[in-house]
Structure 1
Amino acid sequence: MTMTLIKGRYQIKGFEPDGDTVHFLPDDITLWSKVPGGNKVKQDADGSASLRLDGIDALETHFQGVGPEFTHQPLDLGAHAARDALLAFLGFTQVVQGGDEKVTSATPETAPGFILTGGADKYGRCVALIGKGAPVPDADSGAALLVDVPMLHQTANHELLSRGLVYPTFYANLPKELRLDMAATSRQARATKAPDSVWANDVTHSGAAIEDLGSLTDDLVILPKLFRRLADYLRLFGPSLDHLPAFLAGGDDEYFFSDPRFTTKGLHRIVDVIGDTVKLRPAIEDVVFLEK
């Protein structure tokens, strides 16, 4: 599977970047039309667009979901660390953000880089591997490239995953060779459990004891995809988890393990709910989700 190379500049002033989302302006905005797949990239007035980093999921710094207000995962236990590492990797320093997570100033104001994309998600975000400077080997912007593991290792996606600052979360459009390498990288990071990594405090597989929404926002480090489902459930139905399996069964999460011909629908099939404790049964790098 090939991916489209697009060169341009990262923009963060006036935006709310986090550990897996950042804004990008192509040198040639017409190249957004070359992004493969059925979803179109949603552009701002200047032709820039939001990127979602492929293959990873960072702790949420500003998640809205079904509620009227934004919520977040523990900011001091990995959410801000992933964001800060991403911005530093891209070349930004002296980044100042307000209480709403919006960047008010940074040096430089934009940073050059490239993206390798296989498509956009349903929200119009371009899903991409992202790098700084120019890729090696280089090619013309707009070219379709067969992306290999050495190219993957030039990206922020690999950097954040190797440091354990983000979780692996794979979708079917990510080439298998890259997915397998990212899975191995994630397993190594989880085994290392660096003090600043999400794995140092992760309870996704050991079990998250949930009292209320505050447990998720202040104390528990869990897979962001699971956090988003739990945050929505708690805001809709309150602290009791009695109906959580039914809520998860009603979601549109569809996935497979090794063979894409055999998919399963509903997180209730891989998430155990015992009293007030929730845990994911399989290792997250073994699960491949279908893009909706």
Structure 2
Amino acid sequence: MTYTLLRGNFVIRYADLPRQGPEPDGDTVKFLPDSPALVETLPRRSGHPPKINRRGVSVRLEAIDALETHFEETHQQLAGADAARDELLRLLGFTNVSYWEDQPNKVKSADQDSIRGHVLTNGVDANGRLIGFAYAGDPSGADGASVFLDPALVDASVNGTLLAGGLVYPAFYATLPAELRTHLAEVSQAARGKAAGIWPGSTADPNGAATVTGLVDAEGLVMWPKLFRRIVPYLAAGFTDFDGFDAWLRADPVNRDDEVFLLTRLEHGNLHDVFKGAGQRLQLTVWPEEFIIAPDPPPPAVPSH
């Protein structure tokens, strides 16, 4: 599949607003394209326009999901979350990055506030972010060029490197071509087999359920981030166990119970088909590379050109 090449700068700090800058994490980073108009031409997978302004647009790194450094005033296990973020920034070329003590997700100082790089993208997600693969430095191709993305080029991306190092979980959306999904599944499986990165601490997965008595428990665990992002609002709603988790997911098929395609069964389903919860125990019943997540559907009457 061809992707659009965007040249530009990755940005981690605003010199004029140092305490109001971006909050990079292990799978999202701000990007200021050289040609912002190109972003407006990209496919809108869920019907939403890109959220781009004079400071740039966020890039959601395709195929990976990093432990949350911050999510609705919570976080996941910070050792793993920070390791993914720090390696992402290092791979892009940032050095000596430090953070505000009272705002630990905002960059206080670094050798570079921004740095040259490029993105290969095939569209915009439901949150207005670019879906793409990130690379350090300037490429040989022209801005806006169509690039055929093969497994070797994916392996050279920040996304592929983080997955190979076991620093992130896989998360395969329908925007990812089948050839690349198959390849990246093997990359992730190899990292898990070597017990690299986060994998030795992974829980709430097919190898065993996690015990979660509340949010404090969840924040200290290594689990698939999308599962964490579902249990945070569930617990915030006042639930004290997971007996009602299945019904709660099913009650909102867009924002909670994402549509999935189960690769091992060749069946369509939803997130409730890959989670199991009862009492204080919760787990993902299949590995995350074994299903494809559908993008959010466009709102009514919104074209998805």
TM-score (norm 2): 0.88
Cα deviation, residue 28, structure 1? 1.4
Size of the alignment, in residue pairs?
279
Please tell me whether residue 63 in structure 1 is matched to residue 63 in structure 2.
no
1:119-158 → structure 2 map (5 Å cutoff):
119-135=123-139, 138-158=140-160
> Equivalent residue for 1:67?
none
Please tell me whether residue 107 in structure 1 is matched to residue 133 in structure 2.
no
Q: Please, which moves more after superposition, 240-249 or 184-193?
A: 240-249
> Equivalent residue for 2:232?
231
> Which of residues 186, 189, 200 is equivalent to 1:187?
189
> Equivalent residue for 2:245?
244
> Equivalent residue for 1:289?
293
- Give the 3-state SS of the residue equivalent to 1:10 in structure 2: strand
Inter-partner Cα distance in structure 2 for 1:34 and 1:110: 25
> Equivalent residue for 2:18?
none
List gaps (5 residues or longer) in structure 1.
Answer: 65-69
- Give the 3-state SS of the residue equivalent to 2:222 in structure 1: coil
> Equivalent residue for 1:280?
284
> Equivalent residue for 1:22?
29
> Which of residues 63, 74, 78 is equivalent to 1:75?
78
Cα deviation, residue 29, structure 1? 1.4
Inter-partner Cα distance in structure 2 for 1:225 and 1:276: 18
1:82-93 → structure 2 map (5 Å cutoff):
82-93=84-95
- Give the 3-state SS of the residue equivalent to 1:93 in structure 2: coil
2:26 touches 2:81 (CA, 8 Å); kept in 1?
A: yes
Deviation readout 1:122-178 (Å, 9 max, x if unpaired): 11011111101134xx32110122211111111100010000000000000111111
Please tell me whether residue 42 in structure 1 is matched to residue 43 in structure 2.
no
2:27 touches 2:60 (CA, 8 Å); kept in 1?
A: yes
Inter-partner Cα distance in structure 2 for 1:176 and 1:22: 25
Cα deviation, residue 260, structure 1? 11
> Equivalent residue for 1:53?
61
TM-score (norm 1): 0.91
1:212-223 → structure 2 map (5 Å cutoff):
212-218=214-220, 220-223=221-224
Instruction: Sort the Cα spacing of 1:259 and 1:212 in 2 relative to 1 into closer, same or farther, 3 A.
Output: closer
Deviation readout 1:194-247 (Å, 9 max, x if unpaired): 2xx1101000311110011000112x1100000000111001123222211111
Instruction: Sort the Cα spacing of 1:177 and 1:134 in 2 relative to 1 into closer, same or farther, 3 A.
Output: farther
Q: Please, which moves more after superposition, 93-102 or 185-194?
A: 93-102
Inter-partner Cα distance in structure 1 for 2:96 and 2:177: 36
> Which of residues 235, 251, 271 is equivalent to 2:275?
271
Give the RMSD, CA atoms, in angstroms. 1.6
Name the amino acid aligned to 2:198. Answer: V
2:241 touches 2:278 (CA, 8 Å); kept in 1?
A: no
Cα deviation, residue 261, structure 1? 8.4
Inter-partner Cα distance in structure 2 for 1:40 and 1:143: 21
- Give the 3-state SS of the residue equivalent to 1:171 in structure 2: coil
Inter-partner Cα distance in structure 2 for 1:47 and 1:238: 40
Inter-partner Cα distance in structure 1 for 2:174 and 2:34: 29
Inter-partner Cα distance in structure 2 for 1:23 and 1:162: 23
